[in-house]
Amino acid sequence: MKSRKEKILILLYSFFGKHLPQSNHLKTAKNIRGFFARKIMKSTGKNINIERGAVFNSQVTLDDNSGIGVNCEIHGPVMIGKNVNMGPEVIIYTHNHASSRTDIPMQQQGSEKVKPVLISDDCWLGRRVIILPGVKIGRGSILGAGTVVAKDIPEYSIVVGNPAKVIKNRKDLEVL
């Protein structure tokens, strides 16, 4: 259950902090959103960046040098590693509607069990990536714009599409 202080901080962030200009336009905005993130999130590292319009909750951890992009939504327990780049409008879900019963409408079935999401160190999530409950993104992976991820992604993968498909491994690429 959220404390009164936490509720007030979330309200202040929602009505003020998240509407400030993007960080590259006003460094003060980055600092203010960072202040709110440190007070609201489960834990934060050094040099984090929360962009304009980002939505998150107290079950998010954000490690050193990582950021949440413009208009991103992160719902539920999500662990974001170090040096993670997140493009605009990324959505991360940790639970879904229940739908296993056919004798009653889905609206009346409630939600499935929460499944945390893990994004390992040194990942790059492109614009409008969607990550579904329980997914683990391996270290060093790149998720192309618009990718919908429903299964775990191996380390150093380059992934695109809906559903997500590994097209290359970064360790296999020739160094120029």
Sign of CA dihedral 89, 159, 164, 57: negative
Give Cβ neighbours of residue 174 (< 8 Å, ≥ 6 apart).
none
Counting other chains too, the contacts that 73-79 makes at CB distance below 8 Å and 24 or more residues apart are: 76/114, 76/116, 76/117, 76/133, 77/114, 77/116, 77/117, 78/116, 78/117, 78/118, 78/119, 79/116, 79/117, 79/118, 79/119
CB 49 within 8 A of CB 62: no
Q: Which residue has the tokens 């992934």?
A: 159
**Which of 25, 75, 95, 97 is labelled catalytic?**
97
19 has catalytic annotation = no
Would you call the peptide bond into 163 cis, given omega within 30 degrees of 0 as the criterion? Answer: yes
Catalytic positions are: 97
